[in-house]
Structure 1
């Protein structure tokens, strides 16, 4: 299996936290949906693994704070193999679309949008994209972030399209 380049690992970490961020302002968002998002306001810490050619530890911190117009803003930072990545964004319930939305930007010039669905008392954000690594090779990227009662759990997968090599990160967060 090929060792994934630091930039691909950086992309992976950024997507790990992806499910925490939204670009559209909600219009008259549903009060229960807004309250659910606001229940996650606070500081979260995560420690997990990144598995590819090697297994590495991922250490993250995520802070969610009240934003404008019923949005929740977030800032996150992860450390992996001596690399520090930071992200920022917003999470919201967008009444016009009848769904949760998250958007983010990062210090690694990566940004994205995830759609969230409510399942029971949980909100699960998912993202699926195609991108290229530094060498121009196609990557298939998917991420899921689950907001549950007392935890946030992130799973992120990258697959090289041409040969099937992969990278998987899992980071559970708690307060």
Structure 2
């Protein structure tokens, strides 16, 4: 337990150091802390009708491949008017030198956005960038969301599912009464 905690701390420090060394870190970079399989993220941007990019980093220690997906809700201003637009979310892997390599990402825009990495993620350091803008120059805006990592089922799981469905079909067929017709 202690070893796992220390490896997560070391991974987070390595990620942060790599980002600083690469000159890519800014005040808008955060490291996610998972509680179970999910981690929350959020940001607020003050009174400027300008673009922003926020970066959220995370690590996968498990040797099991993980599906990564999430959602976010864009915020409203003090007059309850929609004031925030998320225009893109992009997953990336983080190299040992802090460099980023984009990962194919599906992004569905709207007030409630959803996003997912198109391929499973294995052990390593990753992140995603959220790009958007506040619409009004007189009101701030915010968003909040959730990232979930879910293990990819192993082939044996699909085989067991297929066998179970086959047995149900076989049993249902045996119980049918052909004498009624």
TM-score of the alignment, normalized to the shorter chain, above 0.5: no
- Structure number with greater Rg is 2
More helix by share: 2
TM-score (norm 2): 0.29
Greater relative CO (CA pairs within 8 A, separation 6+): 2
TM-score (norm 1): 0.30
